[in-house]
């Protein structure tokens, strides 16, 4: 890189607003109001709304830039837009459009240095899962297109030791058929690991009896142990684990729980407490949250929480978005409190580090 280019880039980075300029939010989430307007919302650790920025349609998750006060709000599958917002002002910095023949899956992740944004995408006529690469220092120009390692890549997560994990859910869809699942007889989810340059370096596949358990949402602890929220696509009366763990070099480890049936086959979101002690998997369709020991995966209780949706780290515990507000879980107890604004939360709560 030429020195002049480096100095210009450095000056731009220094001039960009930091998260403190946006009120130092702890969390981002997508939400809607009763009039069906759709928003990206910044929340404090106690649920104060620090900003609310309109977005064109229903969102799913967001990606927070690691140091600039920028966030990318992604359309819910099979949406084709993502909006890059300057959170202190609400200004739109860029709008990303999925290439022809593609749609987004509602998730993305930045590289550790904030230079590139990676997005999960569906090449729906192939069909094939792809990872789009966008240059955040060049007005989010699209600069690369990589294989995800499977069908239906959903969440992508940056790993503490470098590289990424991709939840390839295995479900083939096509915009011409809405959200219909087109390949259940051959569905094959996997968890794929990418290096920092986006090359596939490892994959793990479920055993045959878990082939219909879609790998959807991810979190990772400081030791690189991944927690997974699953969504069962098989017989609705069949009760199977909706959470799993993975450490590279080992098989997937499924986590049964006596309250699994309360999630109604749908693990909505997953998070690991900062100290790695507890995993939570939300069930927005079943109004419950399941807790597991973060190390050995044993059940650690459950909460009945209406519309339990997003979950993220909060101090030593976890924060959750629920109907009408938030809940905080710490030391085995849960406290609920309202959030002003009559919000309907989408599935994810993204912590800003």
Residue 306 pLDDT > 70: yes
What integer pLDDT is reported at residue 58 of this predicted model? 84
What integer pLDDT is reported at residue 163 of this predicted model? 96
Among 125, 126, 75, which residue's Cα sits nearest to residue 104? 75
Residue 80 pLDDT > 50: yes
pLDDT tens per residue across span 147-197? 999 999 999 999 999 999 999 999 999 988 877 899 999 999 999 999 999
The answer to whether 347 and 310 are in contact (CB under 8 A) is yes
Q: Which CATH number characterizes residue 196's domain?
A: 2.130.10.10
pLDDT tens per residue across span 223-275? 999 999 999 999 989 999 999 999 999 999 999 999 999 999 999 999 999 99
pLDDT tens per residue across span 30-56? 999 999 999 999 999 889 999 999 988
- For residues 176 and 241, give the distance between their C-alpha atoms in angstroms, rounded to a whole number: 32
Strand order in the sheet with 299-304: 270-272, 278-283, 288-293, 299-304
Could you tell me the pTM of the whole model?
0.93
pLDDT-derived band at 1, boundaries 50, 70, 90: very low
What integer pLDDT is reported at residue 166 of this predicted model? 98
Q: What's the structural domain count of the chain? A: 1
Among 343, 340, 349, 341, which residue's Cα sits nearest to residue 310? 349
What is the average pLDDT value for the chain, to the nearest integer?
A: 92
Residues in the chain: 353
The answer to whether 249 and 328 are in contact (CB under 8 A) is no
The answer to whether 92 and 82 are in contact (CB under 8 A) is no
- Percentage helix, strand, coil for the chain under 3-state DSSP, each rounded to 5: 10, 50, 45
Domain interval for residue 315? 3-351
- For residues 84 and 106, give the distance between their C-alpha atoms in angstroms, rounded to a whole number: 13
What integer pLDDT is reported at residue 120 of this predicted model? 97
| Half-sphere exposure (Cβ direction) of 347: Cα atoms closer than 13 Å | 28
> Which phi and psi (to 5°) does residue 13 adopt?
-65, -40
Beta bridge partners of 213: 232
């Amino acid at each position: 890189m030429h020195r002049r280019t480096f100095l210009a880039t450095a000056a731009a980075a220094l001039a960009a607003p930091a998260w403190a300029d946006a009120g130092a939010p702890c969390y981002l989430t997508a939400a809607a109001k009763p009039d069906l307007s759709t928003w990206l919302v910044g929340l404090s650790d106690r649920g104060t709304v620090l900003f609310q920025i309109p977005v064109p349609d229903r969102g799913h998750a967001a990606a927070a830039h690691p140091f600039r006060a920028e966030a990318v709000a992604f359309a819910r599958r099979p949406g084709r837009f993502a909006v890059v917002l300057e959170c202190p002002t609400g200004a739109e910095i860029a709008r990303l459009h999925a290439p022809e023949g593609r749609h987004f899956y509602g998730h993305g992740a930045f590289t550790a240095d904030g230079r590139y944004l990676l997005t999960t995408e569906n090449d729906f006529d192939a069909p094939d899962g792809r990872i789009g690469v966008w240059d955040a220092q060049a007005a989010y120009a699209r600069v690369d297109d990589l294989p995800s390692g499977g069908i239906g890549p959903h969440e992508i997560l940056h790993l503490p030791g470098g590289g990424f994990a991709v939840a390839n859910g295995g479900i083939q869809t096509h915009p011409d058929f809405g959200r219909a699942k087109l390949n259940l007889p051959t569905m094959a989810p996997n968890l794929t690991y990418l290096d920092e340059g986006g090359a596939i370096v490892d994959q793990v596949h479920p055993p045959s009896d878990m082939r219909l358990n879609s790998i959807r949402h991810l979190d990772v602890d400081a030791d690189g142990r991944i927690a997974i929220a699953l969504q069962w696509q098989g017989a609705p009366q069949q009760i199977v684990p909706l959470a799993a763990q993975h450490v590279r070099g080992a098989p997937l480890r499924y986590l049964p729980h006596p309250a699994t049936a309360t999630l109604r086959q749908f693990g909505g979101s997953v998070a690991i407490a900062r100290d790695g002690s507890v995993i939570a998997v939300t069930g927005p369709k079943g109004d419950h949250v399941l807790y597991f020991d973060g190390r050995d995966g044993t059940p650690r209780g459950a909460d009945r929480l209406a519309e339990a949706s997003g979950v993220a780290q909060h101090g030593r515990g976890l924060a959750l978005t629920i109907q009408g507000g938030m809940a905080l879980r710490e030391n085995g107890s849960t406290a609920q409190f309202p959030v002003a604004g009559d919000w309907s939360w989408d599935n994810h709560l993204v912590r800003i580090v």
